[in-house]
């Protein structure tokens, strides 16, 4: 069994102060993809560079206290790709987003098999029109990258995609039809990514296991208006997998018994081994 976690930490140091480390120890994941480190390399002490026996690899943003992603794994990778521009299939326009620390890929290749786990943090467009335009540019960059990966290897991308795909994925869908994260263009992008007959054909693994959940599926809550207490949430954190890996998924859970962030960790257990 391979236990994989996706978790937007909203600051790795803040999450650690709220109990992340003992939770991770008890949770016993094989790999954990994290987003929004909000820390530079110099800020990452040994207790943050390795968590629960899992050494980490990180993509830090140039801007202090902003973005940043990481992948922790108790299994040694065959290769680590830091940033979209470092991949062999780098696409035009990725430099803007590599400066923001948004992509880490671990490869676990062996004879007869190419397999990757990716931690990715998609931009939010909620703060301004300029950031929404940046989000659309990121979607234009990441899609061909994923298509090229899909052509040559199995992978699971975990991360905060900052898009709720369908009405069941957020509490107040009617009130958010014109808001970033639930715009028609964003949702159409997700639909195309998940189209089985498409050129990528990824699987939303949580929805494969729980096609009908609504209130229980949310992974993020605003800090405003008692959203968490009222469970006015969004499902914007995903496991997006190639079909062969997605088919091995056995259980999925969103941990809400303790709060380390404005997001909750999403864990999926897969029936394969590294």
- Catalytic residue positions, numbered: 160
Integer Cα distance of 149 and 143 in angstroms: 10
Asked whether 260 and 20 are in contact (CB, 8 A), the reply is yes
**How many angstroms separate the CA atoms of 82 and 222, rounded?**
30
Instruction: Give the rounded distance of the alpha carbon of 47 from its chain centre.
Output: 22
Q: Residue 112, Cβ neighbours under 10 Å: how many?
A: 5
Using a 10 angstrom Cβ sphere, with 0-12 exposed, 13-18 middle and 19 or more buried, the burial of residue 173 is: middle
Sign of CA dihedral 259, 35, 222, 211: negative
In this structure, the dihedral spanned by the alpha carbons of residues 172, 176, 181 and 184, taken in order and rounded to 10 degrees, is 120
Cα 167 to Cα 170: distance, rounded to the nearest angstrom:
6
For residue 208 the two structure tokens come to 């494969």
Question: Between β-strands 154-160 and 115-121, what pairing exists: parallel, antiparallel or unpaired?
Answer: parallel
């Amino acid at each position: 069994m391979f236990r994989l976690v996706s978790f937007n930490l909203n600051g790795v140091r803040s999450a650690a102060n709220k109990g992340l480390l003992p939770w991770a120890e008890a949770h016993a994941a094989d790999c954990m993809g994290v987003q929004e480190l909000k820390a530079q390399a110099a800020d990452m002490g040994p207790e943050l560079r390795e968590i629960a026996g899992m050494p980490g690899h990180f993509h830090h943003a140039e801007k202090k206290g902003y973005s940043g992603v990481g992948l922790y794994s108790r299994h040694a990778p065959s290769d680590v790709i830091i940033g979209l521009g470092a991949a062999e299939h780098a696409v035009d326009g990725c430099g803007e987003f590599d400066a923001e620390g948004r992509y880490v890929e671990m490869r676990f290749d062996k004879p007869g098999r190419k397999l990757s786990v990716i931690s990715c943090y998609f931009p939010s467009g909620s703060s301004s029109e300029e950031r929404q335009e940046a989000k659309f540019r990121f979607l234009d960059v990441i899609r061909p990258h994923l298509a090229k990966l899909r052509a040559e290897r199995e992978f699971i991308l975990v991360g905060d995609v900052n898009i709720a795909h369908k009405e069941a994925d957020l509490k107040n869908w009617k009130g958010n039809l014109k808001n970033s994260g639930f715009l028609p263009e964003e949702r159409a992008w997700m639909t195309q990514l998940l189209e089985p007959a498409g050129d990528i054909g990824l699987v939303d693994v949580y929805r494969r296991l729980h096609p009908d959940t609504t209130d229980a599926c949310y992974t993020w809550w605003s800090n405003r208006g008692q959203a968490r207490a009222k469970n006015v949430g969004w499902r914007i954190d995903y496991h997006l997998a190639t079909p062969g890996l997605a088919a091995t998924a056995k259980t999925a859970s969103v941990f809400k018994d303790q709060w380390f962030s404005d997001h909750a960790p999403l864990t999926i257990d897969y029936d394969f081994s590294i």
